[in-house]
Amino acid sequence: MLIPAMFSATLEAPEPGGIPTKQHLLLVDDEPAIRALATLELRGAGYRVTTASDADQALRLAEELTLSLVILDIMMPKTDGLSLLETLKQRHPTLPVVILTGIGVTDEVMKVAMRMGADAYVSKGMTISYLVMEIRRVLRKK
């Protein structure tokens, strides 16, 4: 299995005063390799990370944990990312969500996700540094 470019880059240490370590992210992706590599990199950037492999697990964790942000894969089996985004926003309207997109996701789908309340989207082809930058930007707005 090929690992997307986003998760193959190494990340330098966070900037001084950059990220409070208390920020807790929920990463929702059905691909175990992406969950593992993204978790490693995001923890290296100073975040607490919990992962979910599907929508049901993500919704349960969102109820149990105090989260700062959700990173959500748009293409998942059973319940797709847009349906999960809609439910998350109904239950937690102020919880920021960054969408991860893969190959084949159209601009129109991303426009729909943004109208539904997503705060940003990042292609899995981008570097992990770009994902961290978007997370920081979204959390600063919060």
Give the domain range for residue 54. 22-141
| Secondary element (H or E) of residue 73 | strand 69-73
Q: Which amino acid is at 105?
A: V
Residue 77 lies in a domain: yes
Residue 6 lies in a domain: no
Question: If we measure between CA atoms, which residue out of 30, 28, 124 comes closest to residue 77?
Answer: 30
pLDDT at residue number 96: 98
Contact 22, 48 (CB under 8 A): yes
Give the whole-angstrom CA distance, residue 57 versus residue 48.
17
Instruction: Tally the domains of the chain.
Output: 1
Residue 11 lies in a domain: no
Tokens of 130: 């770009």
pLDDT at residue number 125: 82
Q: CATH number, domain at 110?
A: 3.40.50.2300
Give the whole-angstrom CA distance, residue 1 versus residue 33.
9
For every one of its 142 residues, what pLDDT tens digit does the chain have, with 9 covering 90 and above?
Answer: 334 444 433 333 344 445 445 799 999 999 999 999 999 999 999 999 999 999 999 999 999 999 999 999 998 888 989 999 999 999 999 999 999 987 666 778 888 899 999 999 998 888 888 999 999 999 999 7
Residue 99 half-sphere exposure toward CB, CA atoms < 13 A: 29
Q: Which amino acid is at 96?
A: P
Sign of CA dihedral 111, 61, 95, 89: positive
Residue 7 lies in a domain: no
